[in-house]
Structure 1
Amino acid sequence: MNKIPEPPNYPPHISRPTCAEQEIQVIVKTEVMPEPSRWDFTWLQLGRNSRAMLVSVVTAPLWAAALRDVRAEQTDAGAWAMAGAAFFAALWFDHARHRFLTRVLVWTTALGAVGALPVFSALVILLTGSRS
């Protein structure tokens, strides 16, 4: 019923002569990468930001005057909303384009808002909830 087939006919095992021991040398060359400095502040972009701040010293008072007019004719909340919308739009443009003028626009909106709006009293109200 169950027939077991005959084993395959393999060629006879040929013993090969053993080779003499060979010496193997492995040479590993690694490049030692310098460890990055812990005091790397290149992300601040000091040169680019300082030049943009110098230009925005001229343009920020114009933006501050516009915000003061909004604050006088409307409310503080309207001026804050306008300043915040302009600042975040400038940040978005700067992130998308990485141009000098967009960085100037960011600094202009930031410095103009600080110059025209009551920043410290707004922080106190925001943090404490007290208007007195």
Structure 2
Amino acid sequence: MSSNKKYSVTIGVGGNIGDTKKIFDKLILCLKKDSRFTLLKTSPLLKNPPFGFLEQSDFLNGIIRLQTDLCAFEFLQAMQRYEKKFGRKRSFQDAPRTLDIDIIFFDKKKINSKNLIIPHKNWANRESVIIPLKYT
């Protein structure tokens, strides 16, 4: 259920299948057109080696800051729909993907549920988050 409150959200985006930059550009256009979101800032993209499953191509990663009136769980569902729209398949953990969207911060909220952990549990240990975050 959306509210009148505007939440400040930081998401990490990543991908390594297909034309990742083009996918990110299309995602940004979709977010700009979606009345549930106000895009505030985007970082430059950073090329990163994979972690976990290493037998795959390098990733492009970036950070997007935006505002929304959706609650955290509605926001998660919206981001998962965008991942699916851009061809994300969830075959196994750390698998190659067209688009991965992680919620890094959702306002100043702390959430620890089965489906959602905020702040993202490993954000402070990932260069793919720390470096682009400096630009936003």
Structure with bigger helix share is: 1
Q: Please, what TM-score do these two structures have when normalized by structure 2?
A: 0.30
Of structures 1 and 2, the larger Rg is shown by: 1
Structure with bigger strand share is: 2
Q: Please, what TM-score do these two structures have when normalized by structure 1?
A: 0.30
Name the structure, 1 or 2, with higher relative contact order (CA <8 Å, separation 6+): 2
